[in-house]
Amino acid sequence: MAGSLLCDGDCLLHNVPSMVDVTRMTELLSALGVKLKRQGESLEMDARHLGQSKAPYELVSQMRASFFVIGPLLARLGEARVPLPGGCAIGARPVDLHVRGLQTLGAEVQFEHGTVHAYVRDGKRRLQGAKIYLDVPSVGATETLMMAATLAEGETIIENAAQEPEVVDLANFCCAMGAQIQGAGTNRIVITGVPSLHSVEYSIIPDRIEAGTFLVAGAMTHSEISLAPVVPGHLSAVIAKLKTIGVEVMADASDCLRVIPSHNLGATDIKTLPYPGFPTDMQAQFMALLTLCEGDSIITETLFENRLRHVAELNRMGADIRVKGNIAIVRGVPMLSGAPVVATDLRASAALVLAALAADGLTTIQGLNHLDRGYDKLDSKLQLLGANVQRVRDELHESVADPVSSSSSVVTP
């Protein structure tokens, strides 16, 4: 959606989920002058009359992904004013890699009262191609700099680039608009700038994290579940760990996976790493699964320092998990028990839902504002699979500022 700002015309996206973050992004793009029209899972965006280079604080502060507009705005208008981003409180996610990369491309960058002000230096109409080395393979920095470089003069090379499928998908989207990008999906991306991009119709790849969440749901509840459409290659690390635990995952078609559960689940160790390693966005869900696996498992979170806060809530449900620094030791227990719990971030909320599905008794989950940011009607999809899940109003915790947070999920296995 941020990439559509690069196009001086219409962009039609298909396979767009109904999530809070998508709604917030539409509001942000609208504030920048983009005309949007949504029909079902399709979203039409017209950025012909893009003229606003300042992103509203009240929108950017709620969602980290909104910071992605800085690269396209800078490339298209020569200036961008974007507040420092918000989002899940899972740890420090600074934008220094984005800023240093934009500076290397010829932008002047200043921090003004919590806002990043970037503009093309005097005498230059466009950003200038350059060689950029990322200290860490940041997905956000890779995508921001790749978008900015599509309209820059000359060639840009991004070394130590992130290799996630989402980076490849964004590169393919930009190329469909006329950008010249090579190497996406490797650690070296080469972008040759072009003067402008044209209209496009594009279908977004399936969400590998949502697919992985449903695979774990099948494993935890001893249920056979088929998923389509998916890209099995995007789930290699997840599938490998499931097989190690004792869960079989079959490919029924090129875009269809089926989880075949087992009642004999064993422990395993997990270390989160950049793609193609085990994804940090699946760490919480697997922790929920490992609470029911026989033996001791060790989970090492290497990417975010605050991404183990769901441990306390899982322990409330009868799990046996100890934490030391960025390492969690999970000792399998025979059964989890329903309890009132609170979601602390997006993936933690999904992990608690999975744990509740497998637990004995009633579980009430608060903090669904996190869940709704990244899952499209998760409760409805689980109901279609036979889960006893209800979304109810929690009047005791109602919030005028964030009405979504006043909903609780009641789960009975």
| Residues designated as active site | 88
CA atoms within 13 A on the CB side of 43: 22
Strand partners, 301: none
Neighbour tally for 209: CB within 10 Å: 20
Q: Rounded CA gap, 80 and 265, in Å?
A: 51
Which DSSP state fits 326? T
Owner of token pair 């594009």: 202
How deeply is 224 buried, as exposed, middle or buried, from its count of CB atoms within 10 A (0-12, 13-18, 19+)? exposed
Q: What would the two tokens of residue 42 be?
A: 């399709």
The CA distance from 331 to 347, in Å, is: 21
Distance CA(228)–CA(165), nearest Å, equals: 17
What are the two backbone dihedrals, phi and then psi, of residue 229, each rounded to the nearest 5 degrees? -85, 140
Beta strands in 131-183, from DSSP E residues, in sequence order: 131-133, 155-159, 180-182
Residue 302 neighbours by CB distance under 10 Å: 16
Other beta carbons less than 10 A from residue 64's beta carbon: 18
Give 180's strand partners: 192
CB distance 283 to 238 below 8 Å: no
